[in-house]
C-alpha cells in the first residue's frame, strides 16, 4: 500500500493554495514527501482553466471586488469555476508513475471519489456523458454537485475537485459554471442533507484510500502562528502599521507576526509578540479576532532555501486587529529594521501575503 498524507487545512486563500501545490509538487518529484491529499476551503474565488471563455464570468470586476471575489487564471483543465465557503476543495498531489499512468482512469477515480462520498449521505450522483464532474437528478433537472479540474505534469497531479456541501449557490450567479449554461448547481444542503464538515472529510479520506490503493495518515500543521493588524487614526484616515524584516529574515514588509509556543493560546501569543516586537502592551480585550484561522506554507525566502527541494512547512495562522491611540509609535526589536504607518489601501500593494492583504481589505471596508 502506498502512503497517503492527508492535510485538513480549513480556510486557505487561493494564492496560498497554489503555493502549497507548487512546493508539494517539487518535494514529491524529489521523493521528499509521499502522495498527499489537501482538503480545504477557499474564500470566494473564480478560477479560469486553460482556454477558458472569459465571457462565462457574468459580473464585472468592480462588482466582483465589492462582493469579495478574487479571480485567478490557472493551468488546470476546464472552464470557469467558483470556490467559496461551504465547498470542500481537494488537491491530490499524486505520482502516477510507474503503474497508474492513465489520465482518463485518474480523472474517473476523482469522479468516483465524489460519487462514493455523496452516496454515504444517501445522495445518488452520477456521471453525464460529455461532461466532467458529478451530477444529481433533481426536480429542476440535472444539477452539478461536484466539479473537477486537474493538471498533470510528468505524471504528477495537481488541482483536483470541488464538492458542494453547504455552499451559497447564489454565488454561482457570477459565472456560467464550467461553461455549462443549460444545467444548474446543487449542494448537499440544497438536496436536504445536513452534513457535518468533519464527517464529509472522513468519508473522502476513506474512499481515497480504496480508490488510490493507499494507506492514509493524517498530518498536523508544522507551525501555529499569529498575525496582528495594528491600526491607528491618522490625519487622512486609518493607518496600518507595517514592519520591515531585516535582510536575513526576508527584507519585506509585513504585519506583526509570531510563532506560538507549545500550549500557548493564540491570544497570549499575540500579546507576547506585540510587547516583544513593538513594545506595545494592550489589554486582552483590546484584541479583535479577524475571522477563521487560515493555512499557508512558509515562503522559501523565509526558509532561506530559494529553489532548493524541501519539505513544505505548513502553518495555521490566527489573525487579530488592534486599534491604538493616534500618535502611537512602536519600539522595534532586532527582527525588524524599519516601520511605516500607511493608508490601508496602500498596504495592499506592500503586503506580500494574500491573507494579510485580505485582512487589510476587511479593515478598509469597516473603516
- Where do the domains of the chain lie, and which CATH numbers do they carry? 2-218 (3.30.930.10), 223-366 (3.90.79.10)
For the CA atoms of 153, 154, 155, 160, the dihedral, rounded to the nearest 10 degrees, stands at -20
C-alpha span between 151 and 357 (Å, rounded): 28
C-alpha span between 238 and 343 (Å, rounded): 6
C-alpha span between 138 and 142 (Å, rounded): 6
By mean pLDDT, which of 147-151, 168-172, 182-186 is the weakest? 182-186
pTM assigned to the model? 0.92
**Contact criterion met (CB below 8 Å) for 175 and 57:** yes
Q: Is residue 155 very low, low, confident or very high in pLDDT (cuts 50, 70, 90)?
A: very high
Q: What is the pLDDT of residues 320-331, one digit of tens each?
A: 999 999 999 999
The neighbouring-strand residues paired with 220 are none
Per the listing, cell 482553466 goes with 49
Residue 227 to residues 20, 100, 274, 357, 360: CA-CA distances in angstroms? Answer: 20, 42, 10, 12, 12
By mean pLDDT, which of 173-182, 201-210, 215-224 is the weakest? 173-182
Q: What is the DSSP letter of 95?
A: B
Q: Percentage of residues in the chain with pLDDT exceeding 70? A: 98
By mean pLDDT, which of 21-30, 202-211, 346-355 is the weakest? 346-355
224 versus 302: the higher-pLDDT residue is 224
**Contact criterion met (CB below 8 Å) for 145 and 113:** no
Residue 3 to residues 6, 7, 209: CA-CA distances in angstroms? Answer: 10, 13, 9
Whether 367 has a pLDDT exceeding 80, the answer reads: no
**Contact criterion met (CB below 8 Å) for 313 and 301:** no
**Contact criterion met (CB below 8 Å) for 47 and 80:** yes
Cβ neighbour number for residue 233 with a 10 Å cutoff: 15
By mean pLDDT, which of 69-73, 89-93, 158-162 is the weakest? 69-73
Strands (E), 219-263: 223-234, 237-245, 253-254, 256-259
**Contact criterion met (CB below 8 Å) for 38 and 9:** yes
Mean pLDDT of 283-309: 83
**Contact criterion met (CB below 8 Å) for 253 and 352:** yes
Q: What is the mean pLDDT of the chain?
A: 93
Which residue, among 46, 88, 47, has the nearest Cα to 67 in the 3D structure?
A: 46
Residue 366 to residues 15, 268, 362: CA-CA distances in angstroms? Answer: 24, 25, 6
User: Across the chain, which distance is largest between two alpha carbons, in Å?
Assistant: 65
- Find the length of the chain: 367
Q: Could you list the active site residues?
A: 178
Amino acid at each position: 500500500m502506498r502512503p497517503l498524507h492527508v492535510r485538513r487545512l480549513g480556510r486557505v486563500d487561493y494564492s496560498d493554495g497554489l503555493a502549497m501545490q507548487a512546493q508539494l509538487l517539487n518535494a514529491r518529484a524529489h521523493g521528499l514527501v509521499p502522495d498527499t491529499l489537501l482538503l480545504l476551503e477557499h474564500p470566494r474565488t473564480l478560477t479560469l482553466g486553460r482556454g477558458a471563455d472569459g465571457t462565462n464570468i457574468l459580473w464585472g470586476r468592480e462588482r466582483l471586488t465589492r462582493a469579495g471575489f478574487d479571480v485567478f487564471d490557472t493551468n488546470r483543465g476546464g472552464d470557469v469555476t467558483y470556490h467559496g465557503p461551504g465547498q470542500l476543495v481537494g488537491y491530490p498531489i499524486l505520482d502516477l508513475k510507474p503503474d497508474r499512468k492513465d489520465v482518463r482512469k485518474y480523472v474517473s477515480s476523482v469522479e468516483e471519489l465524489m460519487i462514493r462520498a455523496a452516496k454515504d449521505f444517501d445522495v445518488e450522483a452520477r456521471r453525464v456523458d460529455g461532461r466532467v464532474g458529478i451530477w444529481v437528478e433533481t426536480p429542476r433537472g440535472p444539477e452539478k454537485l461536484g466539479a473537477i479540474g486537474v493538471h498533470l505534469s510528468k505524471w504528477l497531479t495537481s488541482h483536483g475537485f470541488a464538492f458542494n456541501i453547504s455552499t451559497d449557490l447564489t454565488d454561482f450567479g457570477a459565472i456560467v459554471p464550467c461553461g455549462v449554461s443549460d444545467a444548474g448547481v446543487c449542494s448537499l444542503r440544497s438536496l436536504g442533507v445536513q452534513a457535518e464538515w468533519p464527517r464529509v472529510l472522513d468519508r473522502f479520506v476513506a474512499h481515497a484510500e480504496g480508490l488510490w490503493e493507499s494507506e492514509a495518515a493524517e498530518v498536523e500543521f508544522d507551525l501555529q502562528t499569529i498575525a496582528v493588524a495594528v491600526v491607528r487614526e491618522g490625519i487622512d484616515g486609518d493607518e496600518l502599521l507595517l514592519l520591515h524584516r531585516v535582510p536575513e529574515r526576508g527584507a519585506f514588509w509585513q504585519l506583526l507576526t509570531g510563532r506560538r509556543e507549545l500550549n500557548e493560546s493564540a491570544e497570549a501569543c499575540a500579546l507576547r509578540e506585540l510587547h516583544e516586537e513593538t513594545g506595545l502592551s494592550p489589554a486582552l480585550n483590546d484584541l479583535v479576532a479577524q475571522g477563521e484561522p487560515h493555512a499557508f506554507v512558509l515562503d522559501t525566502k523565509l526558509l532561506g532555501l530559494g529553489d532548493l527541494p524541501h519539505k513544505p512547512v505548513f502553518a495555521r495562522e490566527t489573525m487579530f486587529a488592534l486599534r491604538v491611540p493616534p500618535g502611537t509609535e512602536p519600539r522595534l526589536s532586532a527582527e525588524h529594521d524599519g516601520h511605516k504607518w500607511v493608508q490601508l489601501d496602500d498596504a495592499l500593494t506592500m503586503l506580500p501575503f494574500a491573507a494579510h492583504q485580505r485582512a487589510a481589505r476587511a479593515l478598509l471596508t469597516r473603516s
